[in-house]
Every structure is written in structure tokens, then in C-alpha cells.
Structure 1
Amino acid sequence: MGQAQNLQLQVTVQEAEEANSPVHINATNQSTISQPRTFMQWLQMTIFALFVLSGQSAAILLGRFYYDKGGKSKWTATLVQVAGFPIIIPYYYISPPENPTKNSIHRHEPSTLIIALIYVSLGVLQAANSMMYSVGLLHLPVSTFALICASQLTFNAFFSFLINSQKFTPFIINSLVLLTISSALLVFQTNSMNPTGNSNVIYEIGLFCTVGASAGFGLMLSLTELSFHKILRRETFTVILEMIIYQSLVATCATLVGLFASGEWKGLKREMDEFELGKFIYVSTLIWTAIAWQIFNIGAVGLKHEVSSLFSNVISVLGLPVIPVLAVIFFHDKMDAVKAISMVLAI
């Protein structure tokens, strides 16, 4: 009887060790990945994609509207990109609790210090990217800004290959090529000379900041995906909301430090008084810009979680050729055949 119990105990221990072995876990993950997506997963991906497209387009156009009507503060334009996260806090508390699974029971929870380090690092990177985007949008026309932002796809593909071990399938290569060509065509609708009327130095600063922000955004997408899959290892929407909230909190604090350290906060009242369409429209523009960026953030992080950072960026770049078309409607830019061809290629 004792030998039988010992033999059963050894078999149980051996099965537990095999279940927790890297080979078994890898096989389980591959089996999970190979399973077809359910209707609800496709629905979530569609909603996240719509959030990315609508949020990004509205936020960029509202940012241009802010500058065109008298806004001058780069730090304020940066702040509204990151400070809208409180609107999703109520949803975080009413979201359904996480259902425990076999993987969640056996996974090794990261320490609080590691999690805090992730949120702080990504938050500071987000604040720096947002600041560079604000400078770029200030000094560049919308079409040129959208064109350069398309380079984030190339940066993200590079970082995904290095950091996330992304494999380039024919479908991914097709998306990269078509979306790159689609966005590159937009260069033909701008003048070969400086179209903003600003000095060449200021214009080049705008170009440099936009390229830098695109590179930083691509890096941030890959690092976020790495954090989900290698450190957090939790597959719930609650984790997505936590990432957005804490990362945005850090980015907001960093931006507020810049706002007060630069002294731009002293001119905000005068800027509000001199805004062409009045104080109410000034405040409304900032509020809706903040909401639009949070809609974009939810969609982008959701797509990173559901698919990959590269797919999230592909959807983001898909919306960039839409922005010049919307600029035709709201800012009376000229529409030509190049913009139409760019739209068709993107779709």
C-alpha cells in the first residue's frame, strides 16, 4: 500500500513538473494561438480598430484646430494627449472581474517594483512622444505631418522584429508595402518648398520632432506588447485599462512638470481670452481632444493585446491618409487625384 502511494505521488509530481515545463507551456501557447478566433474576439478587434481610426483622426484635426485658432502652448497641446485618462476610471471599476484559469493559477506574478518600473518607463516615453508630436503638428501642415507619421510603421516593424520576434508573413509584408506607398503619395500634394511660411529652421525642427515621435511610438508599441506577454502575462481587458491609466498618470505628471517649468502656464489665461472663437470653444477643443486621444489609446492598446503591436500600428497608419481628406472638409484643403489614390491603396 505504501509503495503504491509513493508511486502515485511520484507520477503526480512528474506530471506537475511536465505541465510547468517551458516545452509544455510553449506547446499550450501555440495550441491557443492556432485556435480560430471567436465572433466576440473579431467584434472586439473591430471595435478597437474603429477606436484607433476615429480617435486618431479627431485628435489630430482638433490639435490643428487649436493651433489655427490662436493656441500657442505646446505643453498644453501635449497635456491633452495624456490627461484624459480619468474618463475611463469608472469603466475600470465596473468591468467584470478576471476569471481564474490554469495559466493564471500557475503563473509567476511580477513584483510591484517591476510593474511600477514598466508604468513609469512607458509613461515618460509617452510624454516625450506627445511633446514631439505637438511640436511637429505646430510647425507642419496636416498632410506633411500625416506623411511623416507613417514612418512609425517602419520603426515599429523594426522594433517588433528585434523585441517581439515578429515573423514577417506575406500578409504583413503586403500591408507594410501598400500602407507605406499610400502614405508616401501624400508628399506630392505639398510644395517642394517650405509650405508653412515659417523659417527653414523651425520647419526642420517640426520634421525632426515628428520623425522622433514616430520612432518613439513604434518603440513604445513593441515594449507594451513585450510587457503584456513576458511580464504581466494576464489576458484580460482590466490589464489593458490598468496599463492606460497608470501610464497616462505618469505621462500627465511629467507633462505638468514641463508646463510649469517652462513658464507657459502663465500665458494660458491670455491665450484663452485671445482665442478666435471664444473661451467656451477653447475649453471644448481641449476637452474633446483629450477624449479623442483616450479613445485612440484604448483601441491601440486593445489591438496590441488582442493581436500584436505591429497590427495595432498598421491600423493606426491606415487612418493617416484619411486625415488629409478630413482636412479638405474642415480646413478647406485642396483634394487632388494623389490623395484619392492614397485613400484607395490604404483601404
Structure 2
Amino acid sequence: MNISSGKTQLAGDDHQQTNHTIFTSNKSKLDGKTYKLLLIINYICLFVGSVSSSLLIKFYFNHNGSSRWVSTWIQSAGFPLLLIPIYFPHYCFRPKINQEHISKRKPFSSFDMNLLGLCFGIGLMLVISNLCFSWGNSYLPLSTSALVLSSQLGFTLLLSIIIVKQKITFLNLNCVILLSLSCVLLALSSGGDRPEGLTKRKYFIGFFSTASAGLLFALYLPVMEKIYSKVDCYAMVMEMQFVMEMTATAVATVGMVLFGGFKEMREESVVVFDLGPTRYWVAVGGNVVTWQLCFMGTAGMVFLTTSLTGGICMTALIGMNVVGGVVVYGDDFKGPKVVSTVMCVWGFCSYVYGMYVKMKGENNGGSQNDEDDDDAQQLQKKSLLELSEIVTEDQR
């Protein structure tokens, strides 16, 4: 009875250790089901965060919100929320006994000065990208800004080839071409989207700022893939994201202080925002949360797959952003936009299906190798058993 109880307790510890390993093991050590589950969770975060943040930031500007520093600050100010995926697995998924068998790693324990320096530098790049995005989004309609941001995909492919030696295959090249063509088609139909009162000069500033944000993000993805290749585990990815977002928030806070962003925030909530202070703070709080979901999902996708896959997923969501702008804000959705959105979804689905087939083939190959290894072990055991019988018979 005690032995059975001990086995049950050990099985429970093994289950707890497996859950803990999901977050503390390198992706190469994750089994197929765990890897897919983690991938799905991150893409859901990316999907919800990207679409919701785009709609909420536009909601802010559509109802007389005008502070670009406020919109820049809220894109990274939710970094304390990342402490949840950092510390929750550490305290909830570790075994309660047999402490000598679990990983001794603690949050933020694997950082050195070089890695911290990289995180601070990328954090500075992020705050510049966030500011450019805010400037562009304050002038351009949602559909047009989403279009311009999609230009990052081609640069992501090029920079991935240079930085991480990404191989060009028919699968990824076909997807990049389809998504890029869909965005060009969308651009040709966006000439009438310019709001009333928006001058050509402001429209150009918005276009240039948004394009700059896209280029910076295109650089961010392969650089992070290069760094993540030397990262211990998924938990450390979240820790690095925390440091980068904290750096971006610190710089944005300095900008808020120097340019009166906090004062503008108080005035906007009471006087300027035409829907009242309650909805103003709901919009700000919603942006804080959804932007962190977006960044967390992006970081996870790059770690679990590649920078190019992360860029493709982000670009594919542009179609959803365009549809969201049409449904929520009444942007025009004429024939060319319909065709470009269909091409966008088509390109993404073909890429996902191709990746699925590739992963399935690799898993089947791995399973076959495991079966071959098992057969070899069984044969070896049989040979040893026969040898022992021969020796025993000879001794008799």
C-alpha cells in the first residue's frame, strides 16, 4: 500500500516536473504536443493583441485623443504584466517534493552584462518604432497604416537571409510574394481613404513614420531570432521581453515628462476626449493590456519558429485589421480591398499548411527512428538472453 502511494506521489511529481519543463527547457527538448500547444497559445496572444491594439489606438485618435507620446507610452507601459508568465510557471508548476530533481533555474538568473546590454539596446529601438507607429497612426486611416506596415515582410525576408541565414524555399517565397502583392493592391485602392482636413504634408509624414516603424520591426525580428538561438528556454524569452519593454517605457516616460504627456493625459480624459473620462481610461487600459499580448505573442512565435514566420503571421493579421477597420470604423471596403484581403488569407493559409506538412513529416520520421531504436534494443536483449542461456547450459 505504501509502495502504491509512493508511486502515485512520484507520478504526480513527474507531471509537475513536465509542466515546469515546458517553460524551462529549450524548444528542441519539447515534445510535439507541448510544442504545438505553446505555439497555439502564442499565436492567439498575437492575434488578439494585434487586432485589438490597432482598433483601440485608432479609437483613441478618432475621439480627439491627440498625444503621440501617450500612445507611445501605453505600447510598452504594460510590461509588469509579463511577470505573470515569468513567475507563475516557476511557482505553480514545480514539484513539491524531490527538489533535487528539478531545475535550479530562477527567473532572471541567466542574464549577464552582454545580454542586458542587448536588451537595453533593443528596448531603445522599440521605443523609436513605437513613436513612429504613433505618428503614422495619428494621420493615416487604419487600413492604409496597416498596408504600409506590411512593407516590413519583404525586408524581414532579406534581413533574415543576411542575419540568420534563412533559406529561401518555394514555400516562404510564395507566401511573401502573395502577401506583398495583396498589400500593393490595397495601396492602389487607398487613395480615397484620406480623412477630411488631412493635408498632403501630414499624409506624407504619416506614411513615412509608419514605413519607418515597419522597417525597424523588420530589423527587430531577425535580430531577436539570432539572440534567441542562444537562449535557454521560453521563460527566458519572456524575461528578455520584460527588460526590453521596461527600457522602452523608461525612455517613453522621459518623453512624457519633457513634452507634457502626463498633463495632456489628464486634460484629454476630462476635457478633450468626447466620450468622457471613463471610456478614455478604458481605452488606455485596454491598449496597455493588448499591446503586451501582441509583443508577448510575437516574441514567442520568433522563439518557437523563425523571424520570417513571425513576420508572415504579423502581415497576415493585416487582413484582419483591415476588416476590423471596415466593421468598427466604417472604412471603405471596395473590390480591390476584398481581393487583397483574400490573397492575404490565402498566402498565410498556404504557408501554415506547408509548415504543418513539414512538421508532420519530421515527426513521422522521428517516430520511425524511435521504432527502429526499440527494435534494435529488443534484438540486443534477445541476443543477450540467448547468450546467457548458452552459458548456463554449458555450466550445467
CA-CA distance at 1:344 after TM superposition: 1.7
1:203 has 2:203 as partner: yes
Q: What is residue 79 of structure 2 aligned with on the other side? A: 85
Q: What is residue 73 of structure 1 aligned with on the other side? A: 67
1:309 has 2:307 as partner: yes
Aligned identity (percent) is 26
Q: What is the alpha-carbon distance in structure 1 between the residues aligned to residue 183 and residue 94 of structure 2?
A: 40
Quick one: which amino acid aligns to residue 170 of structure 1? F
**What TM-score comes out, normalization by structure 1 length?**
0.82
The correspondence for 1:250, drawn from 233, 247, 268, is: 247
**Secondary structure of 1:133's match?**
helix
Q: What is the alpha-carbon distance in structure 1 between the residues aligned to residue 40 and residue 222 of structure 2?
A: 21
CA-CA distance at 1:49 after TM superposition: 1.8
Question: 5 Å matches for 1:285-304?
Answer: 285-304=283-302
1:54 has 2:58 as partner: no
Q: What is residue 217 of structure 2 aligned with on the other side? A: 217
Q: What is residue 35 of structure 2 aligned with on the other side? A: 41
Q: Is the 8 A contact 1:143 1:324 kept in 2?
A: yes
Q: What is residue 119 of structure 2 aligned with on the other side? A: 119
CA-CA distance at 1:98 after TM superposition: 9.5
Change beyond 3 A, Cα 1:181–1:257: same
Q: What 5-or-longer segments of structure 2 have no aligned partner?
A: 1-25, 346-396
Q: What is the alpha-carbon distance in structure 1 between the residues aligned to residue 189 and residue 277 of structure 2?
A: 34
Q: Is the 8 A contact 1:58 1:292 kept in 2?
A: yes
CA-CA distance at 1:221 after TM superposition: 1.1
Q: What 5-or-longer segments of structure 1 have no aligned partner?
A: 1-28
Q: What is the alpha-carbon distance in structure 1 between the residues aligned to residue 111 and residue 287 of structure 2?
A: 35
Quick one: which amino acid aligns to residue 198 of structure 2? N
Change beyond 3 A, Cα 1:324–1:36: same
**Secondary structure of 1:320's match?**
helix
Q: What is residue 269 of structure 1 aligned with on the other side? A: 266
Change beyond 3 A, Cα 1:79–1:192: same
After alignment, is 80-89 or 246-255 more displaced?
80-89
Q: What is the alpha-carbon distance in structure 2 between the residues aligned to residue 83 and residue 301 of structure 1?
A: 17
Q: Is the 8 A contact 2:126 2:248 kept in 1?
A: yes
Q: Is the 8 A contact 1:135 1:206 kept in 2?
A: yes
**Secondary structure of 1:300's match?**
helix
CA-CA distance at 1:63 after TM superposition: 0.5
1:147 has 2:144 as partner: no
Q: What is the alpha-carbon distance in structure 1 between the residues aligned to residue 143 and residue 196 of structure 2?
A: 11
Q: What is residue 321 of structure 1 aligned with on the other side? A: 319
Quick one: which amino acid aligns to residue 79 of structure 1? W
Change beyond 3 A, Cα 1:98–1:306: farther
CA-CA distance at 1:227 after TM superposition: 1.1
**What TM-score comes out, normalization by structure 2 length?**
0.73
1:235-289 per-position Cα deviation (integer Å, ceiling 9, x unaligned): x221121011111000000101111112233322221112111101000101111
1:85-133 per-position Cα deviation (integer Å, ceiling 9, x unaligned): 11221331121479999xx99xxx9872101101100100000000000
Quick one: which amino acid aligns to residue 77 of structure 2? A
Quick one: which amino acid aligns to residue 169 of structure 1? T
Quick one: which amino acid aligns to residue 274 of structure 2? E
Q: What is the alpha-carbon distance in structure 2 between the residues aligned to residue 110 and residue 64 of structure 1?
A: 39
Change beyond 3 A, Cα 1:36–1:72: closer
Q: What is the alpha-carbon distance in structure 2 between the residues aligned to residue 173 and residue 256 of structure 1?
A: 40
**Secondary structure of 1:319's match?**
helix
Question: 5 Å matches for 1:233-248?
Answer: 233-234=231-232, 236-248=233-245
**Secondary structure of 1:314's match?**
helix
Q: Is the 8 A contact 1:133 1:213 kept in 2?
A: yes
**Secondary structure of 1:334's match?**
coil
Q: What is the alpha-carbon distance in structure 2 between the residues aligned to residue 243 and residue 164 of structure 1?
A: 19
Q: What is the alpha-carbon distance in structure 2 between the residues aligned to residue 233 and residue 327 of structure 1?
A: 38
Q: What is residue 394 of structure 2 aligned with on the other side? A: none
**Secondary structure of 2:75's match?**
helix
Q: What is residue 12 of structure 1 aligned with on the other side? A: none
**RMSD after superposition:** 2.6
Change beyond 3 A, Cα 1:37–1:94: closer
Q: Which structure's relative contact order is higher, taking Cα pairs within 8 Å and 6+ residues apart?
A: 1
Change beyond 3 A, Cα 1:189–1:165: same
Q: What is the alpha-carbon distance in structure 2 between the residues aligned to residue 216 and residue 74 of structure 1?
A: 18
Q: What is the alpha-carbon distance in structure 2 between the residues aligned to residue 279 and residue 339 of structure 1?
A: 35
Q: What is residue 342 of structure 1 aligned with on the other side? A: 340
Quick one: which amino acid aligns to residue 324 of structure 2? L
User: What is the aligned residue count?
Assistant: 308
Q: What is residue 11 of structure 2 aligned with on the other side? A: none
